[in-house]
Amino acid sequence: MIRRTKEYILENKMIKNHSTVLVALSGGADSVCLLLVLNEIKRQCADELDFALEAVHVEHGIRGAESREDARFASDLCERLNIPCHVHSVDVPQYAKSHGLGLEEAARILRYEAFEKEAAPAYAADQKQGNSRQVVVAVAHHMEDNAETVLFQMLRGSGAKGLSGMHPVSVKNGVIYIRPLLSATRAQIEEYLMENGQAFVTDATNTDTAYSRNKLRHDVFPLLLQINDRAIEHINESAGQLAVMNDFYEQQLKEACDSMIYQKEGRVILEISRFESLHPALKSGVARECIHLASGRLKDITSTHIGALVKLAGQQSGRKINLPYGIIAEKSFGEVILFAGRCDDEKEEIHITQKELEALSATGEQKNIKLSADGSYVTLCIQDFNGKMDEIPKKPYTKWFDYDKMKKGFEIRTRKAGDYIIVDDEGHHKKLKQVFTGDKIPAQQRAGLWLIAHESLVHAIIGYRSGCSALVTPQTEKVLKITFYGGKQNGFFKEI
């Protein structure tokens, strides 16, 4: 294990001499193995790899006393090994509730925030002492973790970049992350710990198949291994091959983008003559980069948006499409121009900010918002909820939401490409177009219907259904009440 891991570190240039390595130490088998292996490499191979070793433990606040006991285990282990240990305590359940996230996603966000907070002081301390040490965070992902990531990306319909899995070295928010155990299997890790008589803690949530990754680990992987006992290894090999091919693709894509995309006066301009000569794979990549440059982000940019932009390039001059974040793409003779704005037939988009909602929550007052010149409007108010579900109105133009799941803000707008709605408590979702069809909403009405949405997630279709993303439950503490008033021509009837 020591020799193989050392060679993998050197092969992928993970650790420079005189670096500081912060091990993400949960106390579980993987991270304990990583700490021990790196400590042995530091002790045995100082002539090849000279680095300082420290550990970071994040206590998530999910499992009560058991979670605090894990933190004590991590601290005691580091004390025995004479390795500095930094413990961060966070409140994952509260963060998940306030941000409308699942526990798994909330834990990941807070965990990486802790790593970033710890890496910055370590770097600053070295700089103050006149050292030029590189600070890296070592995480204990192994072959099974990488295989899970690849399968997840496949299920989501990801491209080559997603299917290339985890990388030995990556950078996130300016912090370098290394994965020295990507060359090891879980069985090899457990064997190493057993040989060294090293105990570790077991997180009970790791066996809970309510978590998607655990379903893959405990239900799907055993079936794959029955078909081919080297399935995990082969998935990792395929991911590695895709990573190499994707690296070449990214080089070609950069050259293509540099040759046909330029920016002028806040607009992104794509030259069609060069674009049309590209291979379809590069066309999609160039279109994606155009949207990225125009909107400043890639979150919620889907293959639907990319395909629509590619199609627009081949259409007649004057055609326009709506893209996320208020971006319009217009075909103009030999160019496609992307700019902020809205098409003439699109209703104005109204943004309700977190600050506005906090003010309403504090005062309990009602806010009226004008929607159009004919007097149609919407009212918002936030009130305490008594837990009585039968008091929630069933009117199609009055919608109640769990305020904690909406408090970051939302938009009142009409449909956009890529919109989707969550249809059940398990998080399954459908494209908005599928919902329109399934609910038999007339095609001529769809473009004018008002939606309550956040980015591409639709919370409610006014006059019709609500999604399950922010529903009121008996545990809801405050409700956000939204009522629409106006005429049929504005997409809804007058509320009574």
Q: Above pLDDT 70, what percent of the chain?
A: 91
The answer on whether 132 is annotated among ligand-binding residues is no
Q: Are strands 135-138 and 85-89 parallel, antiparallel or unpaired?
A: unpaired
| Structural domains in the chain, sorted by start | 2-207 (3.40.50.620), 265-340 (3.30.465.60), 350-490 (3.50.40.10)
Q: Are 373 and 479 in contact (CB under 8 A)?
A: no
Residue 373 has pLDDT above 60, yes or no: no
Q: Residue 202: what pLDDT?
A: 84
Selected residue with higher pLDDT from 36 and 442: 36
Strands of 288-433, DSSP E: 320-323, 327-332, 335-340, 350-353, 367-370, 377-384, 398-402, 409-413, 420-422, 429-431
- How confident is the model at residue 131, as a pLDDT? 56
Helix/strand/coil for 168? coil
30 known member of a binding site = yes
Residue type, 197: G
Render pLDDT for 53-64 as a digit per residue (tens, 0 to 9): 999 999 988 878
- Residue 345 reports pLDDT greater than 50: no
Average pLDDT value over all residues in the chain: 87
Structure confidence at residue 343 (pLDDT): 47
Write out pLDDT tens, residues 305-328.
899 999 999 999 889 898 888 889
26 is in an annotated binding site: yes
Which band of pLDDT confidence, cut at 50, 70 and 90, is reported for residue 271? very high
- DSSP letters spanning 23-53: EE--SSHHHHHHHHHHHHHHHH-TTT--EEE
User: Predicted confidence band at 119 (pLDDT cuts at 50, 70, 90)?
Assistant: confident
Q: What is the mean pLDDT of residues 144-163?
A: 88
Pairing status of strand 350-353 against strand 409-413: antiparallel
pLDDT tens-digit readout, 374-403: 567 889 999 999 988 988 888 888 899 999
**pLDDT confidence of residue 32:** 95
The whole-angstrom separation of Cα 351 and Cα 410 is 6
| CA distances, 370 to each of 55, 378, 484 (Å) | 55, 7, 10
Share of the chain above pLDDT 90, in %: 52
> Are 143 and 236 contacting, i.e. CB atoms less than 8 angstroms apart?
yes
Task: State which H helix or E strand residue 19 sits in.
Answer: strand 19-24
Burial 287-319 (b: 16+ CB within 10 A, else e): bbbbbebbbeeeebbbeebbebbbebbeeeeee
User: Which comes out higher in pLDDT, residue 270 or 495?
Assistant: 270
The pLDDT value recorded for residue 129 is 54
The pLDDT assigned to 393 comes to 84
The mean pLDDT value for 105-114 works out to 88
pLDDT score at 495: 41
Q: In this predicted structure, what is the pLDDT of residue 205?
A: 65
CB 455 within 8 A of CB 300: yes
Which contacts (CB < 8 Å, 24+ apart) does range 243-246 have? 243/164, 243/165, 243/167, 245/160, 246/160, 246/161, 246/164
pLDDT band at 492 (very low <50, low <70, confident <90, very high): very low
pLDDT band at 340 (very low <50, low <70, confident <90, very high): confident
**pLDDT tens-place string over residues 188-233:** 999 999 999 999 998 766 766 666 777 888 889 999 999 999 999 9
Question: Which whole number is the average pLDDT over 228-252?
Answer: 94
Pairing between strand 367-370 and 398-402?
A: unpaired
> Rounded CA gap, 492 and 486, in Å?
6
- Looking at residue 187, its pLDDT comes to 92
Beta bridge partners of 400: 481
pLDDT band at 367 (very low <50, low <70, confident <90, very high): confident
Q: How far is CA 455 from the centre of its chain?
A: 13
Residue 6 pLDDT exceeds 90: yes
Residue 147 annotated as part of some ligand binding site? no
- The values of phi and psi at residue 235, to 5°, are -60, -40
* Long-range interactions of 228-236: CB distance < 8 A, separation 24+: 231/147, 232/143, 232/144, 232/147, 232/185, 233/143, 233/185, 235/146, 235/147, 235/150, 235/151, 236/143, 236/146, 236/147, 236/150, 236/165, 236/182
- What DSSP character marks residue 339? E
Contacts of 418 (CB under 8 A, 6+ apart): 300, 301, 302, 304, 305, 324, 456
What is the Cα–Cα distance from 83 to 419, expressed in whole angstroms? 49
- pLDDT reported for residue 174: 86
In the three-class reduction of DSSP (H, G, I as helix; E, B as strand; rest coil), residue 282 is classed as helix
